């Protein structure tokens, strides 16, 4: 692959189609960026916050194609802002095949819990999607836990807490490149490469 990973990510963002369905567009971009990260070196895929698995089921075939795995961390506590109560069962049903084949591993807990964060710290992730808690402190903690990931992706940048955490994380990671531009069509997410 030619060019730096940051250039490749920018190119993916600038050339990805925009259907008007922001979440669908985001997932399409994440899969492309995750593939670029997989092509750039070793490491697995991490999704913090998976809800009903709409992104997980896209990441699993990609991981399989590259001989890697996906780890999902989510406490699925209902009722919270995102979780109504049916999502965990739906997630487990639709990911059964991926889990049984060892492509997908699931931790049902908060990513900030010290014993869980310790497990997330160790591997160098190719791509880490930070899409769990919306609290600034939690998002910053998640980012610093997985700071060695070649690509960190922060979703929901319209939320002030997430935006603040992204900006703080970037300052704490000298030498890394931040990719976020609220004037363009992919303004919903930000990347640290």
Ligand X SMILES: C[S@@+](CC[C@H](N)C(=O)[O-])C[C@H]1O[C@@H](n2cnc3c(N)ncnc32)[C@H](O)[C@@H]1O
| Cα angle: 71, vertex 27, 19; to 5 degrees | 175
Which residue number, 122 or 183, has a Cβ lying nearer to ligand X?
Answer: 122
Stretch that binds ligand X, among 12-20, 35-43, 67-75, 144-152 (CB under 6 A): 67-75
Stretch that binds ligand X, among 36-44, 71-79, 97-105, 120-128 (CB under 6 A): 71-79
Report how far residue 95's alpha carbon sits from residue 117's, in angstroms, rounded to the nearest whole number.
23
Nearest approach in angstroms of CB 110 to ligand X is 4
Q: Which residues pair with 154 in a beta bridge?
A: 130, 190
Site for ligand X in 102-161 (CB under 6 A): 110-112, 131-133, 138
Q: How many CB atoms lie within 10 A of CB 99?
A: 15
- SS3 percent helix, strand, coil of the chain, rounded to 5, is 40, 15, 45
Nearest approach in angstroms of CB 1 to ligand X is 26
Residue 161 burial (10 A CB sphere; 0-12, 13-18, 19+): middle
Which residue number, 168 or 177, has a Cβ lying nearer to ligand X?
Answer: 168
Report how far residue 109's alpha carbon sits from residue 23's, in angstroms, rounded to the nearest whole number.
24
Number of residues that bind ligand X (CB under 6 A): 20
Which residue number, 68 or 134, has a Cβ lying nearer to ligand X?
Answer: 134
* Near ligand X by CB under 6 A: residue from 5, 33, 46, 48: 48
Which residue number, 54 or 64, has a Cβ lying nearer to ligand X?
Answer: 54
Is position 168 an interface residue for ligand X (rule: CB under 6 A)?
no
Nearest approach in angstroms of CB 121 to ligand X is 15
Which residue number, 107 or 177, has a Cβ lying nearer to ligand X?
Answer: 107
DSSP code at position 130? E
Which residue number, 28 or 177, has a Cβ lying nearer to ligand X?
Answer: 28
* Near ligand X by CB under 6 A: residue from 57, 60, 63, 76: 76
- Does residue 117 contact residue 137 with C-beta atoms inside 8 Å? no
Is position 31 an interface residue for ligand X (rule: CB under 6 A)?
no
Q: Give the residue from 68, 2, 3, 73 showing the smallest Cα distance to 34.
A: 68
């Amino acid at each position: 692959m030619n060019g730096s990973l940051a250039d490749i990510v920018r190119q993916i963002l600038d050339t990805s189609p925009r259907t008007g369905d922001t979440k669908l567009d985001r997932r399409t971009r994440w899969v492309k960026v995750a593939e670029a990260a997989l092509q750039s070196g070793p490491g697995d895929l991490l999704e913090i916050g998976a809800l009903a698995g709409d992104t997980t089921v896209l990441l699993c075939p990609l991981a399989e194609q590259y001989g890697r795995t996906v780890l999902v961390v989510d406490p699925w506590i209902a009722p919270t802002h995102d979780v109504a109560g049916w999502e965990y069962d739906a997630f487990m049903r639709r990911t059964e095949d991926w889990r049984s084949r060892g492509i997908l591993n699931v931790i049902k807990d908060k990513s900030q819990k010290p014993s869980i964060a310790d497990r997330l710290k160790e591997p160098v992730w190719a791509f880490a999607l930070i899409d769990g808690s919306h609290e600034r402190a939690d998002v910053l903690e998640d980012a610093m836990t997985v700071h060695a990931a070649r690509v960190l992706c922060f979703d929901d940048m319209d939320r002030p807490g997430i935006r603040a955490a992204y900006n703080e994380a970037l300052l704490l990671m000298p030498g890394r490149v931040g990719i976020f531009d609220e004037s363009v069509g992919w303004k919903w997410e930000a990347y640290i490469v």
